[in-house]
Amino acid sequence: MTDLNSTKKLAVVLASGGMDSCVTTAIASKDYNLAMLHLNYGQRTESRELKAFHDLSDFFSAKYKLVLDTDFFRRVGGSSLTDSRIEVSKADLRAKEIPTSYVPFRNANILSMAVSWAEVLGAKKIFIGAVEEDSSGYPDCRKIFYEKFNELIAFGTKPESNIMIETPLISMKKVEIIKKGIELGAPFHLTWSCYQSENLACGVCDSCAFRLRGFQMARIDDPIPYKIKPNYL
């Protein structure tokens, strides 16, 4: 028997452990061997997200796995995700202002790490489950930001590296992502999205609200446990 995996090229996948990174990993795994990358940066639900990351890496038989710890975001502060003195915003799905969970330039920091690792491994692709629609106004979650980042990579790495960021979900709505995940057999039961708590998802933070609304629109039951499940339709 031929090992099909041995002929696949390598891709780095940035995985928080949430549902978007789960579907992104499912998409990447069709064509690539996986180098899974996760960041502990002092987020409130750090250990629950880390468990989800390991569960996803096992499920998709990742070839490499790297968990990085950084206290950078906590030390720099300025965000309720990492600074316990700032209250987490209640979800407002129509809000136009940048919410308090914004960590300044977070995605640039994370992508830069992924590029460094990709260049060492010789991986040509970096997958990230960024979604513009539910980016809560974070400037560094928009499609244009990733396009600009790809230009930067071309100027900041060795000419032969040819590394590109791939954002397969960037223009999708949550409900479409869920349907795509179901189609690909993505293990949603292993994921974690809540910003607020680690045992039962709170159901009311931005991240829970976007997720629950997506599952409700898809008429599919979200398999993870919630404290409360408001109707977001």
Q: Which residues bind a copy of itself (CB under 8 A)?
A: 66, 68-73, 75-78, 98, 103-109, 112-113, 115-117, 119-120, 139-140, 142, 144-145, 148-149, 151-153, 155-159
For a copy of itself, which is the closer residue by CB, 66 or 220? Answer: 66
Q: How many CA atoms lie within 13 A of 19 on its CB side?
A: 29
Minimum distance from CB of 188 to a copy of itself (Å)?
29
CA angle 76, 87, 192 (to 5 degrees): 85
Minimum distance from CB of 233 to a copy of itself (Å)?
31
What's the token pair of residue 144? 């244009």
Minimum distance from CB of 67 to a copy of itself (Å)?
9
Minimum distance from CB of 112 to a copy of itself (Å)?
4
For a copy of itself, which is the closer residue by CB, 108 or 184? Answer: 108
The whole-angstrom separation of Cα 115 and Cα 1 is: 34
For a copy of itself, which is the closer residue by CB, 51 or 142? Answer: 142
Minimum distance from CB of 222 to a copy of itself (Å)?
31
For a copy of itself, which is the closer residue by CB, 104 or 230? Answer: 104
